[in-house]
Amino acid sequence: MASLTYYSSAFLSRSDFSVCGRVTLLKRSFRQRCFSIRAEVEYVNADEAKELVAEGYAIVDIRDKTQFERAHIKSCYHAPFFIENQDNDPGTIIKRQMHNNFAGLFYGLPYTKPNPDFVQSLKTQFSPESKILLVCQEGLRSTAAARKLEESGFQNVACITSGLQSVKPGTFESVGTTELQNAGKAGLVTIQGKISVVLGTVLVCLLLFITVFPDQAEQLLQLLPTS
C-alpha cells in the first residue's frame, strides 16, 4: 500500500499538490467546526418552564434587586445580570439623572450597569452540565444572559420567552408583596385611572421641553412669582 501511494503521488504536479493541500485544509476546518458546535439555548413559555423545573432545572433569577424583592419564585437563586450603577464620574452622574427623570420616575427602575461578576457567581454554584432556567421580567435580559452562559461553557440553559410578566398567578410558588407578573411595575405607572395618564403626559412634556429648550425654560422659570 505504501509503494502504491508513492507511485501515485509521483505522477502529481505541483498544482495537484496545491489542490490536495486545500482539500486537506478544508476537511480539517470542517472537522473543527463540527467539534465547536454548542447546545442551543432553549426558549420556553411559562407552562413549559414549570415542566423543566419538575425535570430538575434550577431557577436563576437575574433581575435587579428591586424587582427581585417585589416578587420572586420561591427557592430560586438570585444572580443579577445588571447591578445598580453608583459610580460618580461626571458622565455617569448626568446619565443617571436623565434616567431617574424618566424610567426611574415612571417605572421605579434604578440606573444600572452590567454585573462583571455574573458568570463567575454562577460558576461557583453550578457546573457546566447543570440544568439552568433563567428568568427576568420581560425576557430580554435572560436572553442576553443565556448567550453569555453558553459562551462560557454552560450546556443546558433555558429561559422564559416573555419573562415573568407572562406568568399567571399560581404557576409558581412566589415570595414577595405582589404577583410575579407585576414585579416590574413601580413608580407613577402604579397610579390608577386617568390621573396617571394626565400627570404622566404633563411631566414628560415638561421634561422634554427643559431638555430640548433649556434657555427658554430658564426664561419661563424667571417669570414665575417668587415668595
Query: Does the annotation mark 34 as catalytic?
Result: no
Q: Could you tell me the end-to-end alpha-carbon distance of the chain, in angstroms, rounded to an integer?
A: 106
- For residues 133, 134, 140, 146, the Cα torsion angle rounded to the nearest 10 degrees is -80
Residues in the chain: 227
Instruction: Give the integer Cα–Cα distance in Å for 175 and 72.
Output: 5
Catalytic hit among 20, 34, 136, 205: 136
193: left (phi over 0), alpha (psi -120 to 50) or beta: left
Instruction: Give the integer Cα–Cα distance in Å for 227 and 225.
Output: 7
What is the set of active-site residues? 136
